[in-house]
């Protein structure tokens, strides 16, 4: 079969354009400044019109694309507008001397903003005479290992950007600002400048430029809604006082994240509310109805929506509840559902219906104040339901007859206390109600841990599978039902079990080039038992192959959430699933589903929203789309990765209620509604226990309570600590990881799963008792079960660590370095050398390198022989001393080869390459 690795799926990029357009959120449109009309004269300002961002940075943004689109060219492509050429030429000339600054291309090196061209007032004045309208494009990025900061050029506009908007809005009558940003940014300047149109186009992937243009010229009527609240001031966000800590952040705002806080305590702090977004057309709603089925305990709402404007468009109907304050205290509004209509032609109407179970509205009582400790309850009192266009524009739904009231508090589900904080702290809750309907902030003590983790863990250690001697059962026999998984596992030695819980990477030569890891049959004997080697790749918005292979880059998570259209997102991820299969990748490392706790988190772009329901629904669409092809999704980062600074140290100190209702909710939905089979734990600790060794997180809640049947992997080079006593963390504590039932350590060096047995605590733990064989077998069984369901199980396994003969070079312009007897070529960093191979043979390559990365950075350099990529050397963190890495085999005929290096992410310096004849 022809190798289809690196060949993007047809139609995928085009579909992603539709999605990117649907996620654009129009926040202001005075005097119908948009859409731009045919023949209108438009001057476009801001360099980002050319250097249009497609994604945030880091692992989630590293897709190699075959092309990208920018806004200026895309607008030109429509042939609808007269784009001012004078302004265009000014920028084009200036850009020659001021190219895009990628910070040198290293990990987390790209700056948040690109320097703007200074534009004279005169130029703008003259342009305003020639043109009807002006567009100003502002761009921002941020990402993994690089949070936004509360400073100009990051969350705030630079002086030059602000000056540009000011000047343009003083000269032009009609100004539209486009925000091509990965996060929400400060828009308080909207109150100062005369801007008539404001559009968040976010980062729309490789087709983002075209998608934005589609919206601006009205090919697409905007229908995106804000997945986050935009406050007037950064300081107004409830987490602001407890964000950015190095050692810990106390989640004092508790469940009052985003609009849950603002609608309850501080409405006037909001500039643009959650769920808000304008359309070019208008919709009328009528016949809002609420029914309550007492037998089934289900609520149904419906509303009829008519397009009464003059453009076709889609409407989003949002449903909210206001729960009785009761003993627990509640936010003023909570999203309980949303639906998007099909495209409604002018005059067309449709009825939108919801069906919600009463149980879904339950609240977790972590203190026992309702009489039901550690349970989901519905408190007595009056329940109010609303349908709306945003959290602010709501219609209260009347029930026929009596308002909806529960006379007594109801127990919905009894759970066991899990993951409660150890540290005492206070959280906020609604206090006295004021005349304006808002509540004063009151504080209460957060319930702390009562359970004895030691006895919980000990009591639940599974039974050990007895050794099955000298058998050679294969995994195929297990899949065929001829042998039980337990018997199969029983034949594995401790050493083999220990190999199975290690993944290798990055860019393992065993699997699809440039991907994040290989796991499963990482020794000859394991392969002989039919255990395949599976592969996973970043994600979330396209496949990352550091080998340079191409893939389709789709819009960022925040944009997807802004579509409020799960069916559309599912369809997009069906393409993603096909692309994964075609590239022989079993799992995508995505979606990222952490909550937008604070606007500055650099990875917010990979995540969906401040709201857990919207997050969970989007996660499920993503997962279902991918799984439709047979490939798998991996939801990450489980849980509470709320900032990038100190991400592998900062403890999330958070109540059990906030965890269950806000931070874990999306994961719960992914498990229960999406049947996801892959989870990646976060780098950070939660309530003193690192996520990857957090027993209550990975076992009590995830497996026991939610019934998860899949694998849990660590984040790359994560650290763990003792699941009972806490204490210091280290990457070698795989015994603690396994005890918590995080199954798989990601990652050890390539070829290291078998050879580095002494580098971690798995085997040592079996001896010292920090781990039992039964626990190790349990994780191995989780992994084996997964592998039997992974595409690789039915795929002819291609081990890619052998590069076949490559053409030799004929023209030799350089001095030749004959390959010495022991085959080691010492390189002056990044020099290119011509080597002479004296004997036709297959050679195993080894590289020695030093790297200058930061903690957890991912840097890589490819080795090319006669322009053929034969290996990629990958490093994380900094290594002053030279380190040796085993690389693939390559067959070379007698002759000359030019060896060069190509940086994938600068930061690795190769100092020597060894060719060992096999």
Residues designated catalytic: 715
Instruction: Please identify, using beta-carbon distances, which residue of 26 and 595 lies nearer to ligand BGC.
Output: 595
Quick one: which of 29, 55, 57, 59 contacts ligand BGC (CB under 6 A)? 59
Q: Do the Cβ atoms of 178 and 134 come closer than 8 Å?
A: no
- Phi first, then psi, for residue 731 (nearest 5°) are -70, -20
Q: What does the angle CA 383 – CA 388 – CA 392 come to, to the nearest 5 degrees?
A: 90
Task: Give the per-residue contact string, 587-626, with ligand BGC (x = CB under 6 A; - = no).
Answer: --x-------------------------------------
Please list every residue from 138 through 167 that binds ligand BGC, using CB under 6 A: 144
DSSP state letter for 314: -
Please list every residue from 697 through 716 that binds ligand BGC, using CB under 6 A: 715-716
The rounded distance, in Å, linking the Cα atoms of 276 and 456 is 46
Instruction: Please identify, using beta-carbon distances, which residue of 59 and 180 lies nearer to ligand BGC.
Output: 59
Instruction: Please identify, using beta-carbon distances, which residue of 84 and 538 lies nearer to ligand BGC.
Output: 538
The rounded distance, in Å, linking the Cα atoms of 595 and 257 is 9
How far is Cα of residue 60 from the mean position of the Cα atoms in its chain? 7
The CB-of-10 to ligand BGC minimum distance in angstroms stands at: 27
Stated as kind and residue range, the H or E segment containing 260 is helix 259-265
SS3 for 775?
Answer: helix
The CB-of-258 to ligand BGC minimum distance in angstroms stands at: 23
Q: Do the Cβ atoms of 538 and 62 come closer than 8 Å?
A: yes
Instruction: Please identify, using beta-carbon distances, which residue of 107 and 256 lies nearer to ligand BGC.
Output: 107
- In 3D space, the residue among 717, 786, 776, 783 whose CA is nearest the CA of residue 745 turns out to be 717
The rounded distance, in Å, linking the Cα atoms of 468 and 491 is 5
The rounded distance, in Å, linking the Cα atoms of 88 and 294 is 64
Task: Give the per-residue contact string, 62-101, with ligand BGC (x = CB under 6 A; - = no).
Answer: ----------------------------------------
Instruction: Please identify, using beta-carbon distances, which residue of 530 and 591 lies nearer to ligand BGC.
Output: 591
- Phi first, then psi, for residue 283 (nearest 5°) are -125, 140
Please list every residue from 112 through 141 that binds ligand BGC, using CB under 6 A: none
The rounded distance, in Å, linking the Cα atoms of 516 and 558 is 23
Q: Which two tokens stand for residue 578?
A: 């096909």
Q: Which two tokens stand for residue 595?
A: 């909550």
Stated as kind and residue range, the H or E segment containing 5 is none
Task: Give the per-residue contact string, 841-870, with ligand BGC (x = CB under 6 A; - = no).
Answer: ---------------x-x------------
Instruction: Please identify, using beta-carbon distances, which residue of 302 and 681 lies nearer to ligand BGC.
Output: 681
The CB-of-626 to ligand BGC minimum distance in angstroms stands at: 15
Quick one: which of 389, 636, 677, 736 contacts ligand BGC (CB under 6 A)? 636
Stated as kind and residue range, the H or E segment containing 74 is helix 71-77
Q: Which residues contact 3 (CB under 8 A, 6 or more apart)?
A: none
The CB-of-572 to ligand BGC minimum distance in angstroms stands at: 20
Q: How many residues bind ligand BGC (CB under 6 A)?
A: 10
The rounded distance, in Å, linking the Cα atoms of 383 and 405 is 6
How far is Cα of residue 148 from the mean position of the Cα atoms in its chain? 16
Q: Do the Cβ atoms of 515 and 579 come closer than 8 Å?
A: no
- In 3D space, the residue among 530, 462, 467 whose CA is nearest the CA of residue 784 turns out to be 530
The rounded distance, in Å, linking the Cα atoms of 237 and 239 is 6
The per-type count for the chain, helices as H runs and strands as E runs, is 22, 47
Instruction: Please identify, using beta-carbon distances, which residue of 59 and 158 lies nearer to ligand BGC.
Output: 59
- Phi first, then psi, for residue 753 (nearest 5°) are -60, -35
The rounded distance, in Å, linking the Cα atoms of 682 and 713 is 9
Q: What's the 3-state SS for 123-137?
A: HHHHHHHHCCEEEEE
The rounded distance, in Å, linking the Cα atoms of 856 and 876 is 5
Please list every residue from 792 through 831 that binds ligand BGC, using CB under 6 A: none
- Rounded to whole angstroms, what are the CA distances from 481 to 473, 474, 478, 788? 12, 11, 5, 12
The rounded distance, in Å, linking the Cα atoms of 572 and 626 is 9
Q: Do the Cβ atoms of 303 and 285 come closer than 8 Å?
A: yes
> Can you give the length of the chain in residues?
918
Q: Which two tokens stand for residue 161?
A: 């950007």
The CB-of-590 to ligand BGC minimum distance in angstroms stands at: 8
How far is Cα of residue 574 from the mean position of the Cα atoms in its chain? 17
Instruction: Please identify, using beta-carbon distances, which residue of 877 and 895 lies nearer to ligand BGC.
Output: 877
The CB-of-860 to ligand BGC minimum distance in angstroms stands at: 11
Please list every residue from 575 through 594 that binds ligand BGC, using CB under 6 A: 589
Please list every residue from 467 through 526 that binds ligand BGC, using CB under 6 A: 516
The CB-of-761 to ligand BGC minimum distance in angstroms stands at: 22
The CB-of-185 to ligand BGC minimum distance in angstroms stands at: 23
The rounded distance, in Å, linking the Cα atoms of 651 and 260 is 23
The CB-of-535 to ligand BGC minimum distance in angstroms stands at: 12
Instruction: Please identify, using beta-carbon distances, which residue of 251 and 716 lies nearer to ligand BGC.
Output: 716
The CB-of-643 to ligand BGC minimum distance in angstroms stands at: 13
Does 538 bind ligand BGC (CB under 6 A)? Our answer is yes
The rounded distance, in Å, linking the Cα atoms of 743 and 693 is 10
The rounded distance, in Å, linking the Cα atoms of 126 and 136 is 16
Neighbours of 840 (CB within 10 A): 12
The CB-of-517 to ligand BGC minimum distance in angstroms stands at: 7
DSSP state letter for 49: G
The CB-of-304 to ligand BGC minimum distance in angstroms stands at: 43
Instruction: Please identify, using beta-carbon distances, which residue of 589 and 719 lies nearer to ligand BGC.
Output: 589
Instruction: Please identify, using beta-carbon distances, which residue of 605 and 716 lies nearer to ligand BGC.
Output: 716
SS3 for 557?
Answer: helix
The CB-of-819 to ligand BGC minimum distance in angstroms stands at: 34
Instruction: Please identify, using beta-carbon distances, which residue of 447 and 503 lies nearer to ligand BGC.
Output: 503
Q: Note if the bond before 897 is cis, omega within 30 degrees.
A: no
Looking from the CA of 676 toward its CB, the CA atoms found within 13 Å total: 35
Instruction: Please identify, using beta-carbon distances, which residue of 492 and 859 lies nearer to ligand BGC.
Output: 859
Residues that bind ligand BGC (CB under 6 A): 59, 144, 516, 538, 589, 636, 715-716, 856, 858
């Amino acid at each position: 079969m022809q190798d289809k690795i690196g060949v993007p799926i047809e139609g995928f990029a085009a579909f992603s354009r539709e999605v990117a357009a649907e996620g654009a959120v129009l926040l202001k449109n005075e005097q119908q400044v948009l859409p731009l009309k045919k023949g209108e004269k438009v001057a476009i300002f801001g360099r980002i019109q050319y250097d249009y961002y497609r994604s945030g940075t880091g692992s989630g943004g590293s897709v190699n694309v075959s092309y990208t689109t920018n806004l200026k060219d895309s607008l030109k492509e429509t042939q609808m507008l007269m784009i001012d050429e004078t302004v265009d030429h000014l920028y084009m000339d200036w850009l020659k001397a001021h190219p895009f600054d990628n910070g040198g291309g290293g990990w987390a090196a790209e700056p948040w903003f690109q320097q703007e061209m200074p534009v004279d007032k005169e130029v703008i004045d003259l342009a305003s005479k020639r043109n009807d309208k002006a567009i100003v494009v502002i761009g921002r990025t941020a990402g993994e290992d690089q949070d936004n900061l509360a400073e100009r050029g990051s969350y705030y506009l630079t002086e030059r950007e602000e000056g540009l908007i000011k000047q343009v809005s003083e000269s032009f009558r009609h100004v539209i600002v486009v925000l091509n940003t990965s996060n929400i940014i400060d828009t308080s300047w909207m109150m100062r400048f005369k801007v008539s149109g404001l559009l968040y186009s976010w980062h729309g992937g490789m087709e983002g430029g075209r998608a934005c243009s589609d919206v601006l010229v009205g090919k697409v009527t905007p229908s995106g809604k804000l997945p986050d609240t935009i406050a007037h001031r950064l300081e107004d966000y409830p987490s602001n006082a407890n964000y950015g800590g190095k050692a810990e952040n106390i989640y004092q705002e508790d469940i009052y994240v985003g609009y849950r806080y603002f609608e309850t305590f501080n409405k006037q702090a909001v500039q643009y509310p959650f769920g808000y977004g304008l359309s070019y057309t208008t919709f009328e709603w009528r016949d809002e109805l609420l029914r309550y089925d007492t037998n089934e305990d289900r609520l149904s709402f419906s509303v009829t929506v008519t397009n009464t404007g003059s453009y076709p468009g889609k409407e989003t109907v949002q449903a909210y509840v206001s729960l009785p304050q009761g003993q627990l205290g509640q936010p003023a509004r909570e999203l309980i559902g949303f639906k998007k209509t099909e495209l409604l032609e002018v005059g067309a109407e449709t009825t939108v219906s919801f069906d919600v179970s009463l149980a879904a509205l339950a609240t977790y009582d972590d203190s026992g104040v309702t009489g039901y400790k550690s349970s989901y309850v519905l408190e007595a009192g009056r329940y109010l339901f609303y349908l709306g266009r945003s959290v602010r524009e709501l219609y209260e739904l009347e029930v026929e007859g009596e308002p909806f009231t529960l006379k007594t508090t109801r127990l919905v589900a009894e759970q066991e206390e899990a993951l409660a904080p150890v540290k005492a702290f206070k959280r906020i809750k609604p206090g006295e109600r004021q005349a304006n309907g808002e509540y004063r902030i009151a504080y209460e003590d957060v319930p702390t841990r009562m359970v004895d983790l030691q006895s919980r863990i000990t009591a639940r250690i599974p039974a050990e599978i007895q050794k099955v001697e000298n058998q050679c059962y294969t995994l195929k026999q297990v899949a065929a039902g001829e042998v039980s998984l337990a018997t199969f596992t029983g034949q594995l030695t401790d050493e083999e079990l220990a190999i199975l819980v290690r993944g290798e990477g990055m860019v393992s030569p065993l699997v699809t080039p440039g991907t994040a890891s290989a796991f499963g049959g990482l020794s000859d004997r394991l392969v002989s038992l039919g255990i395949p080697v599976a592969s996973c790749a970043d994600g979330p918005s396209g496949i990352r192959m550091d080998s340079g292979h191409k893939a389709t880059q789709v819009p960022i998570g925040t944009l997807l959430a802004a579509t409020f259209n799960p069916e559309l997102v599912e369809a997009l991820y069906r393409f993603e699933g096909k692309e994964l299969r075609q590239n022989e990748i079993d799992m995508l490392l995505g979606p990222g589903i952490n909550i937008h706790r604070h606007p500055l988190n650099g990875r917010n772009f990979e995540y969906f929203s401040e709201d857990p329901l919207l997050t969970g629904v989007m996660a499920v669409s993503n997962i279902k789309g991918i799984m439709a092809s047979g490939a798998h999704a991996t939801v990450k980062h489980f849980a509470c990765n709320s900032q990038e600074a100190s991400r592998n140290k900062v403890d999330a100190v958070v109540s059990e209620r906030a965890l269950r209702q806000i931070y874990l909710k999306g994961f719960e939905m992914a498990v229960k509604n999406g049947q996801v089979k892959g989870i990646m734990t976060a780098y950070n600790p939660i309530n003193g226990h690192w996520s990857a060794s957090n027993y209550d997180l990975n076992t009590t809640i995830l497996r026991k309570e939610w019934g998860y049947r899949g694998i849990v992997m660590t984040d790359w080079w994560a650290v763990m600590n003792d699941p009972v006593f806490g204490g210091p963390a280290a990457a070698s504590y795989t015994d603690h990881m396994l005890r918590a039932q995080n199954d798989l350590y990601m990652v050890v060096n390539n070829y290291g799963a078998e050879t580095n047995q002494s580098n971690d605590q798995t085997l040592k733990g079996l001896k010292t008792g920090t781990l039992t064989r039964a626990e190790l077998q349990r994780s191995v069984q989780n992994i084996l079960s997964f592998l039997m369901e992974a595409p690789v199980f039915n795929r002819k396994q291609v081990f890619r660590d052998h590069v076949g003969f490559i053409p030799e070079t004929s023209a030799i312009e350089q001095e030749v370095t004959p390959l010495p007897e022991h085959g080691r070529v010492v390189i002056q960093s990044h020099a290119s050398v011509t080597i002479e191979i004296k004997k036709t043979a297959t050679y195993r390559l080894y590289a020695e390198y030093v790297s200058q990365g930061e903690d957890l950075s991912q840097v890589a350099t490819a080795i090319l022989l006669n322009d053929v990529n034969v290996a990629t050397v990958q490093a994380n963190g900094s290594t002053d001393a030279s380190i040796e890495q085993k690389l693939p085999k390559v067959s070379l005929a007698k002759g000359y080869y030019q060896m060069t290096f190509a940086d994938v992410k600068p930061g690795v310096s190769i100092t020597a390459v060894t060719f060992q004849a096999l």
